[in-house]
Amino acid sequence: MEGFRDGTPIGLGYFVVGFSLGIVAKYVGLSPLQGFILSFLNNASAGEYAAFMVIKSDAPYFEIALMTLVANARYALMSTVLSQKFSPDTPFYHRIFVGFDVTDEIFGISIARSGRWLNPFYNYGAMLTALPGWSLGTACGIIAWYFFSPSLLSALSVALYGMFLAVIIPPARKDKIIGGAVVVSFLLSLLATEFFPEVSAGNRTIILTILIAGAAAILFPVHEEDNK
């Protein structure tokens, strides 16, 4: 019940963002049922948006899978940290089910829990609102395509980009290296689109993500004392 309580505002926020994502999903040709299932199985805004763009370009399954893996790579790190909050006696199946829906927000409320060990049922309670909110929001966004005017749909679709900006601006303001990496990613993405149009959007994103993140990690490593 505590997880359900803490997850309710997350689910409501997911519905709004999922609604904007649903408009994009309809743009690439997905039905409400397809959008619902896809969002239920891949509860990640950036990962889904990237996948939609790859789907739109009629890319092969391997490219879609690789694009989603790269876009969602941060969740592997979050899951590693979150695993330290569980008792060593926690069954493996609980870890699998909790890992199924490790999002930025659920990770945040889980890590903030007091006490030595985290009860997996807390995460299940949060997932009860997060997963339906995200999935239903995507399906409703696709359905809204049939009833809203083109100008209203265009305005609503901007909300998704606003969420992406809300994700990158705070850390970019606090850390000049992150801010520089963001600016470089904008510029290189524009140049790659202009000069390499034959390369699909998915492959461009994969290549640039690996190159920029790798270069930043090599040139500006985060030392252990900085983490402390």
In a shared domain, residues 84 and 145: yes
In a shared domain, residues 30 and 130: yes
In a domain, 170, yes or no: no
HEC sequence for the chain: CHHHHHHHHHHHHHHHHHHHHHHHHHHCCCCHHHHHHHHHHCCCHHHHHHHHHHHHCCCCHHHHHHHHHHHCCHHHHHHHHHHCCCCCCCCHHHHHHHHCCCCHHHHHHHHCCCCCCCCHHHHHHHHHHHHHHHHHHHHHHHHHCCCCCHHHHHHHHHHHHHHHHHHHHHHHHHCHHHHHHHHHHHHHHHHHHHHCCCCCHHHHHHHHHHHHHHHHHHHCCCCHHHHC
The reported pLDDT for the residue numbered 202 is 63
Q: Which residue has the higher pLDDT, 183 or 56?
A: 183
In a shared domain, residues 144 and 180: no
pLDDT digits (tens, 9 = 90+) for 51-87: 887 888 787 888 888 878 877 777 887 888 888 888 8
In a shared domain, residues 87 and 153: yes
The reported pLDDT for the residue numbered 207 is 82
Candidates 46, 47, 48, 37; CA nearest to 136 is: 37
In a shared domain, residues 209 and 152: no
Residue 157: pLDDT band with limits 50, 70, 90 = low
**Is residue 198 over pLDDT 80?**
no
- Boundaries of domain holding 194: 175-228
**Is residue 226 over pLDDT 60?**
no
Candidates 53, 180, 46, 61; CA nearest to 104 is: 46
**Is residue 145 over pLDDT 90?**
no
pLDDT digits (tens, 9 = 90+) for 84-122: 888 888 888 988 898 888 887 888 788 777 777 888 898
Identify whether the C-beta of residue 17 lies closer than 8 Å to the C-beta of residue 167: no
In a domain, 165, yes or no: no
In a domain, 169, yes or no: no
Residues in the chain: 228
In a shared domain, residues 77 and 128: yes
In a shared domain, residues 188 and 147: no
In a domain, 13, yes or no: yes
Identify whether the C-beta of residue 70 lies closer than 8 Å to the C-beta of residue 206: yes
In a domain, 224, yes or no: yes
In a shared domain, residues 28 and 132: yes
Across 182-204, average pLDDT: 83
In a shared domain, residues 25 and 120: yes
Predicted TM-score (pTM) of the model is: 0.66
**Is residue 213 over pLDDT 90?**
no
